[in-house]
Amino acid sequence: MKTLDDYDPGRATWQAHIDAWMDGELSQRAYCEQNGLSPSTFLRWRNWLKEEARIRERRAVQRRWRRGTAVETMPPPPKDRKRPGEGTPPSRGRIRSAR
């Protein structure tokens, strides 16, 4: 089965650059200067790969829901909910006005 890298060999190169930048301590601009990359192209690839990952995740969730194997990620809300500010002390010493 072909992967996205087979269709676009530059994708793997940019993914490697983005991974290396994220693992390092340089700013995006400094990393691009050090590696001879265009900052605008780097940002474009970073955004494109990030959106691609979101799309893949959405499709995976949809497939799990269709198969009935999706796992609920959010816990159910508590049964005895209190109104905001009820029974909690003011934060950071601020005095809240009564309504």
Tell me the domain boundaries of the chain. Answer: 9-67
Nearest to 35 by CA among 46, 48, 49, 20: 20
Give the pLDDT mean for 79-95: 58
Q: Residue 78: is its pLDDT beyond 90? A: no
Residue 72 φ/ψ region, left for φ over 0, alpha for ψ in the -120 to 50 degree band, beta for the rest = beta
58 Cα distance to chain centroid: 12
pLDDT: which is higher, 74 or 40: 40
Residue 36 has pLDDT above 90, yes or no: yes
| pLDDT of 27 strictly over 80 | yes
pTM strictly above 0.75: no
Q: Which helix (H) or strand (E) holds 91?
A: none
